[in-house]
Chains A and B, each alone.
Chain A
Amino acid sequence: MKVPYNWLREYVDIPYSPEELAHRLTMAGIEVGSVQVFAPLGENFVAGKIGALSLHPNAQNLQVVTVNTGNGLLNIVCGAWNIKKGDMVPLALPGAVLPGGKEIRTAEIKGVSSPGMLCSAGELGLDIVQEEEGILILNEGCSPGTRLTDILFINEPVLELDLTPNRSDCLGLLGVAREVAAQTGGKIKISAVEVEERGRDIRELTSVEILDPELCPRYTARIMEGFKIAPSPLNMQLRLLSVGIRAIYNLVDVTNYLMWETGFPMHAFDYDKLEKGRIIVRRAHPGEEMVTLDGVTRTLDPEVLVIADARVPVGLAGVMGGEYTEITTATTRLLLEAACFNPVNIRKTARKMNLPSEASQRYEKGVDPEAAIFAQNRAVRLIQETAGGEICRGIIDNYPRPYRVPRIDLRVKKVEEVLGYDVSEREITGILEGLGLEVEAGSPPAVSSPRSNPAGAIYKVEVPSFRRDLYEEIDLIEEIARIKGFEKIPLTLPVGVLTSGRPSRERRVLDRIRDVLVGCGLQEIITFSFMNPRLFDELDLPPDDFRRNAIKLQNPLSEEQGVLRTTQIPNILQVMQYNFNRQVDNQLIFEIGKIFLPAETDSKLPLEKMLVSLALSGKMPQNDWQNTPKPLDYFYLKGILEALLNSLGIKEYRWEAGQLPFLHPTRGATLVVNDQEAGFIGALHPAALEKLQFRQDVYLAELSTEAFLNSVSLSPSFKPLPRYPSVLRDVAFTVPEKVNAGDIMQGLKECGGKLLEDIRLFDVYKGTQIPQGHLSLAFALTFRHSERTLKDDEIDEIQEAMEQFLHDKYAAILRKL
């Protein structure tokens, strides 16, 4: 909402500068986004009166004009021909700078000196409508030499309000004026309008019927005739222009002017085009058609409220008029509408038709029903002033749902209870009355001091129709705080019993996971919870994979954000792609976030699961002048997961080879924690690498925290430190290639029993020393007894048992080292 400062001053005295007003409004909750000057014009522009005109001696298309500047006569060379003796015109004197940046100087034009320039509207930067092209004729009464900025409504500071949805009352300057008055204690300067009616009674000419009062609580109409359609007076045009509305001609301009003044949208119909001159407010019939002002044929349905004549719709109520009944230069009689409509219905229609307008925007938020008559009278008076004509006798006022004044109980004690500071009763009544509310002491009557009566005083407050956002006690308390000023609120802290703010166990687990992964050198990323469903195809996800059953958004911003993610892998791969394309070749990343799986029925909320997803690609970080960098691989990633599980205190887990989504068929495994599938790890499938145009391997893992949350031990209990020395033994076995190292280790563990403290695979060898189809696995075994020193023959015995067991079960043979 644009508020021209000087226009606003017509309705209320403003003891502040525009900037100060902006600040005060902002601090009272009417946020002013900016203050900008409309049509800024500098010095040296004055009104000049045309005297003698003569042809330029050396140029046929120019004339030399004698102009009275109020300070003497000047001869000005001019190329326009719309001026005549006696006209008052804008004169730019030497030193004046046109809005385009051109500076006016005394110039020799074809041998004649011209100490200035007569200006057109365009040269002054004003987009207005004129009867004739050429020099702007100032039809305002003024004397020569007056500065243009003193005559025209230009150089106008315009406040741009960013209104909250509850303050639709400030969509009219009168509303803003009331707000200013509430702060200054001033009065609104505009009063009731006298209308001089003549000629026929309106009831002989028209009737208004409201078929759906819920959608149209009030409809008023007036009829005028005998006016002259013409461009509006210059200053009215400038006012409209300053709020962003381009003038058209007087009748339309007046309705716009009134809308800006009162916040009440109005519409003028060509009365003679209304079938039987009648107005019927009704829902549209199914399939009914109408051409709106913009020339578009609209197909309507019963959800749409229309203004119809006796036959067809002539306007979309509150949204846009119809083309057929539009005011034209041929119009001789008009019917002026000032009506109220149901905000929700208007909003729906405006949306459906994609027709947001200044009018619909006001109707959507609700207009003041009590302002209709005032607006009518202001409008017809203004039309008469600008276009002449006569106002028919009477006004039609169909008001099936009259405004009921709410009476709100306001307890003084509650004010202090909510705000946390004392506001005196005098202050309370002062503020509310300043806002135009009626305040009377109710029962129980106010006792001398609220402190002597625990209940305190109670006021009955009546709210006028222009503040329909106030309808309960808390609304009034807010008004009191707002006008008193939030800067007066003291600073205190809540007092009460102590509560623990410690994060839940689940959050602490997630924090630990994040810390461990960061410690392992991984960068956390955060991607959108949406994803592109086409990526499932790109990644060759099997058609029956549960991840394909992703929840669709009804109104996504784009196909790429079409569904809620069921895995974080596709988004992570996109991040990798983005970074590869920017020469980031080494990527160690992870994301902790939710996925969304459909519930059994649509009316239930989806299942949300927390996943931890990791991805690696490139070289190991130990890349320096001492080491040749090795590529990151499956085991690097697995090591990170093992470190993670270890620091979460998870002991019972295993890796099971298998064919898994997204993964290389023989380089993937399922992580099983406590016999429950917890996620997967592996190399990205080569086909996917190719589709994504990745030139290096990518390793992925995705774990569901739900699966292992219960196995996490954040504070494991203390194990006494060993008191006896350990014994170290290195053993190596030749095993057939098909045997998994994990099985061999499991065998060693079982044979070692509790004396085997640790087992570490330190070499995997395949080559000439080993029979074909076999490999050698070398282990460092640590043995320890908690209560005594172990003897060599005890360990020999265990080692023999290991040898025997692995030989029998896996055909493994102990190598002599």
Chain B
Amino acid sequence: MQENMDRLQLQLKEDIDRAQDFQQLDNIRVRYLGKKGDITLLMRNMNQLSPEQRPVFGKRLNELKNTAETMLEQRKKELYGELSVKRWESERVDVTLPGKPFNPGRKHLITVVLQEIEEIFTCMGFKIAEGPEVELDYYNFEALNMPKDHPARDMQDSFYINREILLRTHTSPVEVRTMQAQAPELPVRIISPGKVYRRDDDITHSPMFHQVEGLVVDKGITLADLKGTLLLFAREMFGKDRDIRLRPSFFPFTEPSAEVDISCIACDGKGCRICGGTGWLEILGSGMTHPRVLEISGYNPEEVTGYAFGMGVERIAMLKYGIDDIRLFYTNDLRMLSQY
């Protein structure tokens, strides 16, 4: 019996060492430890032994069983290590192959810039006001202090539908409409973004372009407030190092009027090709709302004052993105648009 067991242990070790995969190992387990396994059978035959022999053999047999299980487990671990290496090798991916192409769309660059401008002003509490793109001569010109035959009308050559109706040449008519709807309530604090139209077509003029105009009417609004607001805008839009400068100018609907320059974004005001050596870039027109415009719009210019400004979105986009031909915006070349 003792001999038997010793032989069995030797045989078992030999078998286990020879097992090359989990299946073989499992077969070995069944052969020794299964229901009809060699060790199991020995254990079943214990009752044939004398009561004196039983505890001795029983102990020995249990040890054998434990040893068998340990050896099987041990070999399983070894096999696992050996097999994994093969498996990982067979499951290797080339991590440098390109990823799944996702092609998110893009907003048009003008939308991007327009939304950025809108965001800056709406965060300051400016409400967005909108109005018709095809407009009455009255709102586009007359109510803005440009009666018929006013020479300033020449500044903005317009597309007409008939004598009284035209494509708006600026978004200022929205300001008049807003004031007329709101007067005499205060404050008016709006921007009016949108498409505008002028009869011009070259590398700096497009027959359709976008403007954002702004208007604040309240008690005590001053030219200094205008300057402060525009500096804030310039720094949000073009970076915190920007300076602005106001130059007197002329618009029929504001007085005093000013052109607004920012320090050149390319050279920081030192003077370069972009700014024509001046160190400054013109970005918008502005001024104090003309008393007559306030009056026409239902406000008493003796009690309230206002400021207004207007900028071309394409101009801002061209400066910010270094684009030198306005017509590129409306060619809609997808190779260009997908850059932004």
Q: Which residues of A does B touch, CB under 8 Å? A: 26-29, 31, 164-167, 343-344, 347, 364-365, 417-421, 472, 474-475, 477-478, 481-482, 486-487, 489-504, 507, 514, 517-530, 551-557, 561, 564, 575, 578-579, 582, 584, 587-590, 594, 596, 602-603, 605-606, 608, 621-626
Contact of A164 among B98, B104, B167, B250 (CB under 8 A): B250
Cα distance, A519 to B105, chains bound together (Å) = 6
Which among B7-15, B37-45, B73-81, B326-334 touches the partner chain? B326-334
Which residues does chain B contribute within 8 Å of A625, judged by CB atoms? Answer: 97-98
Whether A555 contacts B199 by the Cβ 8 Å rule is yes
Which among B26-34, B55-63, B217-225, B265-273 touches the partner chain? B217-225
- Most chain B CB atoms below 10 A, which of A561, A602, A605, A623: A605
Q: List 12 A-B contacts (CB under 8 A).
A: A344-B149, A417-B220, A418-B222, A420-B222, A490-B227, A491-B231, A496-B186, A523-B105, A524-B106, A553-B161, A605-B135, A624-B100
Cα distance, A509 to B222, chains bound together (Å) = 36
Which residues does chain B contribute within 8 Å of A344, judged by CB atoms? Answer: 149
Whether B106 contacts A523 by the Cβ 8 Å rule is yes
**Which residue of chain B has its CB nearest to the CB of A351?**
B154
Q: How big is chain B's contact interface, by range?
A: 35 or more
CB distance from B196 to the nearest CB of A (A): 10
Which among B17-25, B64-72, B82-90, B121-129 touches the partner chain? B121-129
CB distance from B95 to the nearest CB of A (A): 14
Whether B248 contacts A29 by the Cβ 8 Å rule is yes
**Binary contact readout B94-120 vs A (1 if CB under 8 angstroms, 0 otherwise):** 000110111111111011000000100
CB distance from A412 to the nearest CB of B (A): 15
Which residues does chain B contribute within 8 Å of A521, judged by CB atoms? Answer: 102-105
Top-5 shortest CB links A-B: A420-B222, A29-B248, A420-B224, A501-B122, A164-B250
Whether B100 contacts A626 by the Cβ 8 Å rule is yes
Whether A501 contacts B123 by the Cβ 8 Å rule is yes
Given A490-B224, A494-B229, A608:B334 Cβ within 8 A = no
Question: B288 near A: Cβ within 8 Å?
Answer: yes
Contact of A524 among B103, B105, B149, B161 (CB under 8 A): B105
Given A489-B227, A502-B122, A588:B222 Cβ within 8 A = no
Which residues does chain A contribute within 8 Å of B208, judged by CB atoms? Answer: 528-530
Which residues does chain A contribute within 8 Å of B135, judged by CB atoms? Answer: 605
**Binary contact readout B125-166 vs A (1 if CB under 8 angstroms, 0 otherwise):** 111100011111000000000000101101100011110110
Which residues does chain A contribute within 8 Å of B126, judged by CB atoms? Answer: 499, 501
Cα distance, A621 to B118, chains bound together (Å) = 32
Cα distance, A520 to B106, chains bound together (Å) = 10
Whether A526 contacts B330 by the Cβ 8 Å rule is yes
CB distance from A393 to the nearest CB of B (A): 39
CB distance from B22 to the nearest CB of A (A): 33
Question: B170 near A: Cβ within 8 Å?
Answer: no
**Which residue of chain A has its CB nearest to the CB of B112?**
A524
Question: B257 near A: Cβ within 8 Å?
Answer: yes
CB distance from A590 to the nearest CB of B (A): 8
Which residues does chain A contribute within 8 Å of B100, judged by CB atoms? Answer: 622, 624, 626
Whether A514 contacts B256 by the Cβ 8 Å rule is no
CB distance from B60 to the nearest CB of A (A): 55
Q: Which residues of B does A touch, CB under 8 Å? A: 97-98, 100-108, 110-111, 118, 121-128, 132-136, 149, 151-152, 154-155, 159-162, 164-165, 167, 186-187, 189, 195, 197, 199, 201, 207-208, 216, 218-225, 227-229, 231-232, 245-250, 255-259, 288, 290-291, 305, 329-335, 337-338
- Most chain A CB atoms below 10 A, which of B97, B118, B125, B161: B161
Whether A419 contacts B224 by the Cβ 8 Å rule is yes
Contact of A478 among B219, B220, B222, B248 (CB under 8 A): B248
Which residues does chain B contribute within 8 Å of A417, judged by CB atoms? Answer: 220, 222, 305
**Which residue of chain A has its CB nearest to the CB of B195?**
A529
**Which residue of chain B has its CB nearest to the CB of A364?**
B151
Whether A477 contacts B160 by the Cβ 8 Å rule is no
- The B interface is mostly helix, strand or loop, or mixed, namely mixed
Given A420-B224, A492-B228, A557:B132 Cβ within 8 A = no
Contact of B334 among A497, A520, A553, A579 (CB under 8 A): A579
- The A interface is mostly helix, strand or loop, or mixed, namely loop
Whether A475 contacts B333 by the Cβ 8 Å rule is no
Whether A520 contacts B187 by the Cβ 8 Å rule is no
Whether A477 contacts B155 by the Cβ 8 Å rule is no
Cα distance, A522 to B218, chains bound together (Å) = 43
Contact of B332 among A481, A502, A503, A578 (CB under 8 A): A578
Whether B105 contacts A486 by the Cβ 8 Å rule is no
Whether B134 contacts A494 by the Cβ 8 Å rule is no
**Which residue of chain B has its CB nearest to the CB of A490?**
B224
Cα distance, A507 to B122, chains bound together (Å) = 13
Whether B98 contacts A624 by the Cβ 8 Å rule is yes
Whether B332 contacts A527 by the Cβ 8 Å rule is yes
Cα distance, A621 to B122, chains bound together (Å) = 36
Contact of B225 among A492, A529, A605 (CB under 8 A): A492
Known: A420-B225, A478-B248. 8 other contacts (CB 8 A): A490-B227, A491-B231, A494-B189, A500-B125, A501-B121, A501-B127, A518-B106, A621-B102
**Which residue of chain A has its CB nearest to the CB of B128?**
A503
Which residues does chain A contribute within 8 Å of B128, judged by CB atoms? Answer: 501, 503-504, 507
Contact of A551 among B101, B161, B258, B335 (CB under 8 A): B161
Cα distance, A579 to B332, chains bound together (Å) = 8
Cα distance, A31 to B258, chains bound together (Å) = 11
Cα distance, A229 to B111, chains bound together (Å) = 65
CB distance from A436 to the nearest CB of B (A): 18
Cα distance, A478 to B256, chains bound together (Å) = 5
**Which residue of chain A has its CB nearest to the CB of B231?**
A491
Cα distance, A590 to B106, chains bound together (Å) = 10
Which residues does chain B contribute within 8 Å of A418, judged by CB atoms? Answer: 222-223, 256, 288, 305
Cα distance, A490 to B329, chains bound together (Å) = 37
Whether A564 contacts B134 by the Cβ 8 Å rule is yes
Whether A481 contacts B223 by the Cβ 8 Å rule is yes
Whether A492 contacts B222 by the Cβ 8 Å rule is yes
Whether B197 contacts A621 by the Cβ 8 Å rule is no
- Most chain A CB atoms below 10 A, which of B189, B208, B248, B335: B248
Whether A579 contacts B224 by the Cβ 8 Å rule is no
CB distance from A665 to the nearest CB of B (A): 29
**Which residue of chain B has its CB nearest to the CB of A480?**
B256
Whether B225 contacts A579 by the Cβ 8 Å rule is no
Which residues does chain B contribute within 8 Å of A551, judged by CB atoms? Answer: 134, 161
Which residues does chain B contribute within 8 Å of A490, judged by CB atoms? Answer: 224, 227
Contact of B255 among A28, A474, A502, A589 (CB under 8 A): A474
Whether B227 contacts A495 by the Cβ 8 Å rule is no
Whether B250 contacts A554 by the Cβ 8 Å rule is no
CB distance from B120 to the nearest CB of A (A): 10
Which residues does chain B contribute within 8 Å of A526, judged by CB atoms? Answer: 108, 110-111, 329-330, 332
CB distance from A4 to the nearest CB of B (A): 22
Given A27-B247, A496-B187, A528-B208, A587:B334 Cβ within 8 A = yes
**Which residue of chain B has its CB nearest to the CB of A27?**
B247
Given A486-B258, A492-B224, A525:B107 Cβ within 8 A = no
CB distance from A507 to the nearest CB of B (A): 6
Cα distance, A624 to B99, chains bound together (Å) = 9
Cα distance, A589 to B103, chains bound together (Å) = 12
**Which residue of chain B has its CB nearest to the CB of A487?**
B245
Whether B247 contacts A486 by the Cβ 8 Å rule is yes
Cα distance, A225 to B103, chains bound together (Å) = 84
**Which residue of chain A has its CB nearest to the CB of B282?**
A31
